[in-house]
Amino acid sequence: MSESSRIADLVQITNRLSDLLERESEFLRKRKLAEMETVCEDKFILSAAYETHVRALRSQPEMLASATHELRAQLKAAFDRFEKILGENERGLRAAKEASDRVLQAIAGEVDRQRRENLAYSANGQASASQMPGARPPVSVAVDERF
């Protein structure tokens, strides 16, 4: 494979990865979490290819030096776009995670509050679940934290 074709491949991989991250960000904005899973495998494959090509470019800087001005410009444009989209994607994922964490904390707080409401003291002064009529049983909650 020629040096120019390796750089052209990197441009193509970077653009495809950028397109994929844009789709993922759009799914995130629209709260289409199931659709986000559809891009995971492609993102993994493209990320691995991107990393391999970038490592090769870093280890062989002469590859870039021998590329045409047009190809270097395409690579720079692809990198600039990728960096911008990656930052937007990261902010979106971070915001979604923080929102998810707040929901989880609210659920845990409500479960804790309900448990405390159902506590009573036994004859020896120990706190125990209330046996009074109308006392609610403890609530069990499971949360899936995957993105």
Q: Which domains does the chain have, with CATH numbers?
A: 3-117 (1.20.58)
The confidence band for 147, taking pLDDT boundaries of 50, 70 and 90, is: low
Kindly provide the b/e burial profile for residues 9-47, where b requires at least 16 CB atoms within 10 angstroms of the residue's own CB.
ebbebbebbbbbbebbbebbeeeeeeebeebeeebeebe
pLDDT at 2 over 70: yes
Predicted TM-score (pTM) of the model is 0.68
CA dihedral 85, 87, 90, 95 (to 10 degrees): -110
Q: Quick: pLDDT tens for 33-56.
A: 788 888 888 999 999 999 999 999
